[in-house]
Amino acid sequence: MLSVFCLGVVVLAVKMAVADGELLSQALDLSKAGPSADAVAKLDQLLGLEPENARAFYIRGRENFRLGRVKEAVADFDRYVKLAPDAEPRQWERGIALYYAGEYARGARQFELYQTFDNRDVENSVWRFLCMAREQGVEKARAVMLPIKNDPRVPMMQVFELYRGTIEPEQVLRTARDGDPAPEVLAARLFYADLYLGLYFEATGDTDQARKYIELAADKKLQHAQRINGYMWDVASIHWKRMSAEKK
């Protein structure tokens, strides 16, 4: 009887694992297709069965962010790093979600932690600047920017220098167009240039220029362009929606 019972437990565990795997696979497929609310529903179902599935919290955090549910995204990312503490240093998505949730000090700390994982990422330094500028002002944030060298992506080093105050915005755009890049490469370069120009102008108080560049970055034609991180396009989209709602 005991062996039959044990066998039954094993079979049940295998069936649950298969079910969990299928739910995660379905959620990922829904995420790729775009209906994030459906993906979140699948992940809710999975977490009901397996409440300590770290990866499910991470994916749900990204999906909640896509939906503009930034506080829910932060909660999911927080749960993710609690379950998978080794992942915390690379959780840049959480840092951005914290910025949009208005938790600027926590956001800045997350980007400081990310610097220990990758010290060549201009975006990390810029987002820490943006978090700090909200509470301490542009000049104080600029004075303590995280040092970055050799980010290979064009025009990210120019973006870094712009935020440091050493070059003008036009130089970012000029560098993005240098070298006669292929159309999809140029689209990706200009996406990042436009996004970070918009964020820069907003931080420095030029609302009109900020709106101009954020709108360009949020252009839906770029959503599936090659070389654009999906989460970063979500950032542009969410930012533009917020700007539009504020103007109304």
- We report the CATH number of the domain holding residue 52 as 1.25.40.10
The answer to whether position 201 is within a domain reads no
pLDDT in tens, 65-87: 999 999 999 999 999 999 999 99
The answer to whether position 78 is within a domain reads yes
Predicted local confidence at residue 108, as pLDDT: 98
The answer to whether position 5 is within a domain reads yes
Beta strands in 22-86 (DSSP E): none
Predicted local confidence at residue 31, as pLDDT: 83
Q: Which of 126, 58, 119, 128 is nearest to 93 (CA)?
A: 58
Calpha distance 67→36 (Å, rounded) = 7
Residue 76: HSE in the Cβ half-sphere, 13 Å Cα cutoff: 23
Cα–Cα–Cα angle for 244, 168, 95, rounded to 5 degrees: 50
- The conformation of residue 69, written as its DSSP 8-state character, comes to -
The answer to whether position 245 is within a domain reads no
The answer to whether position 67 is within a domain reads yes
Calpha distance 110→93 (Å, rounded) = 9
The answer to whether position 30 is within a domain reads yes
User: Using an 8 Å Cβ cutoff, are 235 and 195 in contact?
Assistant: yes
Using CA atoms, how far residue 195 sits from 62, 80, 209, 211, in Å, is: 19, 27, 11, 10
Query: Which residue matches tokens 């932060």?
Result: 74
The answer to whether position 51 is within a domain reads yes
The answer to whether position 54 is within a domain reads yes
Predicted local confidence at residue 8, as pLDDT: 36
Predicted local confidence at residue 4, as pLDDT: 39
Q: What is the mean pLDDT of each run of 10 residues along the chain (248 residues)?
A: 37 40 89 84 96 97 96 98 98 98 98 97 98 98 97 98 98 97 92 97 98 93 66 95 89
Domain of residue 37, residue span: 1-87
Predicted local confidence at residue 9, as pLDDT: 31
pLDDT in tens, 109-124: 999 999 999 999 999 9
Please, is 84 exposed, middle or buried when counting C-beta atoms within 10 Å of its C-beta (0-12, 13-18, 19+)?
middle
Predicted local confidence at residue 229, as pLDDT: 77
Total domains present in the chain: 1
